[in-house]
Structure 1
Amino acid sequence: MQRRDEMIDEKVYKSRRETFLKEMKKNSAAVLFSAPQKVRSNDTEYPYRQDSDFYYLTGFKEDNSALVLVKGKKSTKELLFVQKKDKTLELWTGKRLGEEEAKKRFLVDKVHIIDLLDEKLKKLLLNKKRVYLDMFCEDKRVLHVKELVKEVSKSRTAKYTPKEFLHVRDISQAMRLIKTPAEIELIKKALSITKEAHHKAMKMKKNALREYELQAMFEYEFKRNGAYSDAYTTIVASGNSGNTLHYIENSEVLKRGELILIDAGCEYEMYASDITRTIPVGGKFTKAQKEVYEAVLQAQLRVIDAIKPGVKKSELQETARESLCEALVKFGILKGSVKDLVKEGKDKTYFPHGIGHWMGIDVHDQCPYKDKNGKEIALAEGMVLTIEPGLYLREDDKSVPKKYRGIAVRIEDNILVTKEGHENLSRDIAKTVEEVESLYDS
């Protein structure tokens, strides 16, 4: 059986590091750290999750490790620092790979124990002009490297020493914009698990359930099917709670006749899924709910249909706004021409968020939206993004006709940009009114 941490070949990580080194300036060194353990309370910690960029370049999931990439005038070096084997600590916290096993597994030039990082860095930084670090990180390890640079700068034997810091994530996060076939397969696997959970929710008879019971079902289905965690805190927002965009209290009783906005996706082998569906508690949409739902669905389909290489995300945003604004005028919520209303931003009261975001190792993948010149990056083959229009009609908004008040609808899918257009990676998750209602009756 394939080990789960070997689902992407080591040669892929090697290739990524080589690409990273090509982007680095000559006579420089880059230092990336694993994620730190995070304290939950007192002496208990949150479940460990590796730093996304560190994992992207190494495939290594252990904490207390570091990657150092060095680029000279004509040659490069890749060094990985790992925890040493320690039987006593492993008894408490689990097996470590260790230096010798890491040497066998990773296609790097050198593997050292993390205790030697300072000693090795001092030598590696000599005759380097610049250092790549996470410039926005306050982690004590990053700050310590800056202190080491100061120490090295005092050398009287080196021809030159580092005088410039550069942001290491500018390179790694730009690389992550384009997904490889292996990455896309992992996203598809995450979506297949997420699909099962959403469909189970659609089928559930929800008499007197609380929102958190539905949340628990999602988390159970994720883990039961091999996804160790959710990709973000599940949102189960019934009734007017759906009008709070990041509602995570999940404590209200589900009431027949209300809608439930469920934003839930799992993380499989570090890759996220991100799906929102809005379903009726009793299995049937009311007439007003159906009108709002189909308006949002129509907007989403228009946006998805427009996705292809060369299109900009801002153009997709305008397509969504125009479509949803047409519906708001039709419902009697807004009055005037759609063009003028959009120009004046009147629609933003009811659709206040963006049309979507990059998705990959992070559910909100930390990839740039603008290039080095500040220009918006156009869609290209291999990019993955969410498309998630919504309408939010608060129950206390007297400008909204009474029959629509308290309704919140968002529909979200995960889209791959292809050479000729796009592929909806989550197309098998039910979303039309007919599909949702029929699942409830099945």
Structure 2
Amino acid sequence: MIQEHEYKKRRNRFLKKLKNNTIAIFSSAKAKTRSNDTQYPYRQDSNFYYLTGFKEDNSYLIFVKKNYKTKSFLFVKKKESQDELWHGKRLGKKEAKKRFSVDKVILSGKFKKLKKELKKKYKIDKNAFKVVAQMRLIKSKAEINLIKKAINITKKAHHGVISFDKTSKYEYELQSEIEYIFKKYGSYSDAYTSIVASGDNANILHYIDNKDILIDGDLILIDAGCEYEYYASDITRVIPVNGKFTQAQKELYNLVLQVNKKIIKMIKPNIKRTKLQQKAEIYLTKGLVKLGILNGNYKKLIKNKQHKKYYPHGIGHWMGLDVHDDAPYKDENDKEIKLQKGMVLTIEPGIYISKDDKTVPKRFRGIGIRIEDDILVTKKSYKNLSSKIVKSIYEIESMGYKYKTSP
């Protein structure tokens, strides 16, 4: 759990970066209606939460910097018995004063009036969100611990479905097992909608229908991660429906696995993500040529972007309060930001071959593979935070449920 002193430290860091004689305004997320008078489960805006740790809607945070002196105002909704009857307890002004280290706590009903007055005196700092995004790049010890907790719960979910009896089951049954395990071990929600893509569905990168029956002999690509105290995990594993990989599946899987391992080993401070991307594309393209999926010189194939047909996405992304963390990849001078200690990113090479691709040997058609881990950049190297989630063929087959097909 992140304590108030850390949120205060973040606000102070932000205030130092705030331009003189300006104001910055952050708003809580709005409650979203699902239909008529029912709502989706509420999730706080990530930037607002990063600066406050406050989970209620109808809240605002204003920073003021005048003559290099700063003030912070937190607006919270008034406690009302009828509102609390329907929607739950609120902290209220009195308790907010005790909890938050801000200069002043004000009821949300006064927000519009004060905002109007301040806008007459000061300019709104339009750079505010970029400043917070930059701050979110480097994770504190407390943040890393929450990410580790999320990954540990996600590990239980992935291991659970590897050993799950998949005989005549549907994709959504695996999804429900994953979400059950998330909640069982203390995660309130997933970090994103789980992808449970069997067979050719794995070649749809953001497949979330999860409605098809699992077929003996197919693979299942499972991209699922839980959120713990607002911090995400993001893990992809590929498992066989019947517990055993075919020879063709093994060849493609091991290619992706070796690239995953090689790129992770490259991670250290001062390396660029584009370097990781370039190396991943080289390794994957060489492998695709070796397997007869692509033909020709790997350098020319990459130059002509022919490998993109089978590996269309990036090697990874930042991860933190959001599964795709809202942090920059380039600095204010449009130069790529190098990896630094405390950054967390995913590494996720993949190969996707449509069942309708007649240019590929038949045994490889309809196979989609992605292997994704969550990596922390350390002082001199890296730490694979998801290393305990099995990913070798031997580990997966050993853990997998071995069912007998009907005679």
The two structures have a TM-score, normalised by structure 2, of: 0.97
1:113 aligns with 2:107: yes
Distance 2:68 2:252 in 1: 62
1:406 aligns with 2:366: yes
Structure 1 residue aligned with 2:237:
277
Structure 2 residue aligned with 1:252:
212
Would you say the 8 A contact 2:164–2:401 is kept in 1?
Answer: no
Q: Report the residue type matching 1:111 in the other structure.
A: V
Structure 2 residue matching 1:89: 3-state secondary structure:
helix
Would you say the 8 A contact 1:329–1:336 is kept in 2?
Answer: yes
Q: Report the residue type matching 1:398 in the other structure.
A: K
Structure 2 residue matching 1:112: 3-state secondary structure:
strand
Offset from partner CA, 1:28-66 (integer Å, 9 cap, x none): 000100000111112211110000000000000000000
Q: Report the residue type matching 2:390 in the other structure.
A: A
Structure 2 residue aligned with 1:331:
291
1:88 aligns with 2:82: yes
Structure 1 residue matching 2:197: 3-state secondary structure:
strand
Offset from partner CA, 1:134-156 (integer Å, 9 cap, x none): xxxxxxxxxxxxxxxxxxxxxxx
Structure 2 residue aligned with 1:191:
151
Task: Provide structure 2 residue ranges, at least 5 long, that are not aligned to the other structure.
Answer: 403-407
Offset from partner CA, 1:326-352 (integer Å, 9 cap, x none): 111011111111122112111100000
Structure 2 residue aligned with 1:54:
48
Distance 2:302 2:269 in 1: 25
Structure 2 residue aligned with 1:377:
337
Q: Give the C-alpha shift of residue 210 in structure 1.
A: 0.2
Q: Report the residue type matching 1:364 in the other structure.
A: H
Would you say the 8 A contact 2:256–2:371 is kept in 1?
Answer: yes
Distance 2:233 2:341 in 1: 19
Q: Report the residue type matching 1:45 in the other structure.
A: Q
Structure 1 residue aligned with 2:352:
392
Would you say the 8 A contact 1:311–1:379 is kept in 2?
Answer: yes
Distance 1:123 1:241 in 2: 55
Structure 2 residue matching 1:379: 3-state secondary structure:
coil
1:299 aligns with 2:259: yes
Q: Which has the higher contact order (CA 8 A, sep 6+)?
A: 2
Structure 1 residue matching 2:400: 3-state secondary structure:
helix
Q: Report the residue type matching 2:234 in the other structure.
A: D
Tell me how large the CA RMSD over aligned residues is. Answer: 1.0
Distance 2:260 2:150 in 1: 22
Q: Report the residue type matching 2:262 in the other structure.
A: R
Matches within 5 A, 1:33-182: 33-128=27-122, 130-132=123-125, 166-182=126-142
The two structures have a TM-score, normalised by structure 1, of: 0.90
Q: Report the residue type matching 2:92 in the other structure.
A: G
Q: Report the residue type matching 1:304 in the other structure.
A: I
1:237 aligns with 2:197: yes
Structure 2 residue matching 1:248: 3-state secondary structure:
coil
Would you say the 8 A contact 2:19–2:65 is kept in 1?
Answer: yes
Distance of aligned partners of 1:441 and 1:209 in 2 relative to their CA distance in 1, 3 Å threshold: closer
Out of 379, 396, 406, the residue aligned to residue 436 of structure 1 is: 396
Distance 2:401 2:174 in 1: 18
Distance 2:30 2:37 in 1: 15
Structure 1 residue aligned with 2:247:
287
Offset from partner CA, 1:172-226 (integer Å, 9 cap, x none): 1110000000000000000000000000111112000000000001111101111
Aligned length: 402
Structure 2 residue aligned with 1:3:
none
Q: Report the residue type matching 2:6 in the other structure.
A: V
Structure 2 residue matching 1:427: 3-state secondary structure:
coil
Structure 2 residue matching 1:31: 3-state secondary structure:
strand
Q: Report the residue type matching 1:294 in the other structure.
A: N
Structure 2 residue aligned with 1:144:
none
Matches within 5 A, 1:304-323: 304-323=264-283
Q: Give the C-alpha shift of residue 126 in structure 1.
A: 4.3
Would you say the 8 A contact 2:318–2:345 is kept in 1?
Answer: yes
Would you say the 8 A contact 2:21–2:68 is kept in 1?
Answer: no
Offset from partner CA, 1:240-282 (integer Å, 9 cap, x none): 0000000011011001110000000000000000000000001
Q: Report the residue type matching 1:337 in the other structure.
A: N
Task: Provide structure 1 residue ranges, at least 5 long, that are not aligned to the other structure.
Answer: 1-6, 133-165
Distance 2:314 2:242 in 1: 30
Distance 2:328 2:203 in 1: 29
